[in-house]
């Protein structure tokens, strides 16, 4: 269980769009690093270019003279596919499982759906490349990108918006991690409850442990799921009006698009387990959209 100090700090994550003026490293919440190597990751993602995907650089961001790309991997069938899934990977830079799982997710998609016309896939990764390289939640200017979907002050949030405009996805999945002890997902108001249940069963079948409590310590009625609620939506509206803060799942909700936000445990030192929740959910969601 997180301590009160940790929870207090975590609450701060939800009240500031810009918590720092640089990509600060915050270790108080017990993030276990998975050892992210930006150059190696870029090579692995680019290897999919021309092999079932088109990989392109959508924007560059700079920190201390080093430029880093936000990449888009778009499946070759996306133009003709009946449904399109957009995956946001690494909006919070130090939540590495959602980034490192991408090559495996692309492989699984290509093997299962790459030749079909039922579901197409677009992955933006890492949405926060400076944070990913600096082991920080924040971008080069210290912004929390996942609070910037009202004002779009950050390049990173603007790239997400542009991608949403171009792709017009049928579903969005954002890959995150948190300080709780197992995995759960936030669902926005457009996520069908029966679909969410089938996805949870798929996660469990793959061996993913589902959290009984979210990272605020609230008990989840269905382990692994924090569904949209009227009270939650009221808080989100207030948050946007008073603090000009909005996360990607509320932005999607406003556009009528279902979004799930996966939160695996960043305290888990088992790399395979942490990545598995992400690759399994990507695969299960693609299978569902292909039905
Ligand atoms: Zn996050």
- Length of the chain in residues, anyone? 291
Q: How far is the CA of 50 from the centre of ligand 1 (A)?
A: 31
Q: How far is the CA of 218 from the centre of ligand 1 (A)?
A: 18
The predicted-structure confidence for 92-104, as pLDDT tens digits, reads as follows: 999 999 999 999 9
pLDDT, averaged across the chain: 94
Global pTM reads 0.95
Three-class HEC string of 158-221: HHHHHHHHHHCCCEEEEEEEECCCCEEEEECCCCCHHHHHHHHHHHHHCCCCECCECCCCCECC
Q: How far is the CA of 13 from the centre of ligand 1 (A)?
A: 10
Which domains are delineated in the chain? 4-289 (3.40.630.10)
Q: How far is the CA of 176 from the centre of ligand 1 (A)?
A: 4
Q: How far is the CA of 93 from the centre of ligand 1 (A)?
A: 8
Q: How far is the CA of 91 from the centre of ligand 1 (A)?
A: 7
Q: How far is the CA of 116 from the centre of ligand 1 (A)?
A: 32
The structure tokens listed for 238 are 């207030």
DSSP 210: B
The predicted-structure confidence for 16-60, as pLDDT tens digits, reads as follows: 778 788 998 877 788 999 999 999 999 999 999 999 999 999 999
Q: How far is the CA of 92 from the centre of ligand 1 (A)?
A: 5
Q: How far is the CA of 221 from the centre of ligand 1 (A)?
A: 22
Q: Which band of pLDDT confidence, cut at 50, 70 and 90, is reported for residue 5?
A: confident
Please, which residues have CB within 8 angstroms of residue 268's CB and are 6 or more apart in sequence?
32, 274
Q: How far is the CA of 174 from the centre of ligand 1 (A)?
A: 9
The predicted-structure confidence for 97-154, as pLDDT tens digits, reads as follows: 999 999 999 999 999 999 999 999 999 999 999 999 999 999 999 999 999 999 999 9
DSSP 180: S
How far is residue 221's CA from residue 6's CA, in Å, rounded to a whole number?
A: 24
């Amino acid at each position: 269980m997180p301590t009160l100090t940790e929870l207090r700090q975590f609450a701060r994550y939800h009240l500031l769009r810009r918590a720092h003026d640089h990509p600060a490293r915050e270790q108080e919440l017990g993030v276990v690093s998975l050892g992210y190597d930006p150059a190696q990751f870029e090579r692995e993602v680019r290897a999919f270019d021309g092999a079932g995907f088109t990989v392109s650089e959508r924007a560059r961001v700079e920190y201390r003279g080093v430029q880093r790309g936000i990449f888009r991997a778009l499946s070759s069938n996306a133009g003709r596919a009946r449904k399109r899934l957009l995956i946001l990977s690494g909006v919070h830079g130090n939540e590495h499982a959602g980034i490192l799982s991408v090559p495996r997710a692309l492989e699984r998609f290509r093997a299962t759906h790459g030749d079909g016309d039922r579901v197409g896939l677009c992955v933006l990764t890492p949405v926060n490349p400076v944070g990913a390289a600096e082991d920080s939640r924040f971008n080069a200017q210290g912004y929390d990108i996942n609070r910037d979907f009202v004002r779009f002050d950050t390049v990173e949030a603007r790239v997400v918006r542009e991608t949403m405009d171009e792709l017009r996805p049928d579903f969005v999945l954002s890959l995150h991690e948190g300080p709780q002890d197992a995995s759960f997902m936030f669902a926005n108001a457009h996520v069908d409850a029966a679909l969410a249940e089938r996805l949870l069963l798929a996660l469990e079948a793959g061996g993913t442990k589902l959290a009984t409590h979210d990272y605020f310590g609230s008990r989840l009625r269905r382990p692994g799921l924090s569904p949209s609620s009227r009270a939650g939506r009221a808080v989100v509206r207030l948050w946007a009006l008073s603090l000009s803060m909005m996360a990607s799942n509320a932005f999607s909700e406003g556009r009528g698009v279902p979004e799930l936000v996966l939160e695996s445990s960043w305290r888990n030192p088992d790399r395979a387990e942490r990545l598995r929740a992400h690759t399994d959910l990507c695969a299960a969601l693609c299978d569902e959209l292909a039905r």
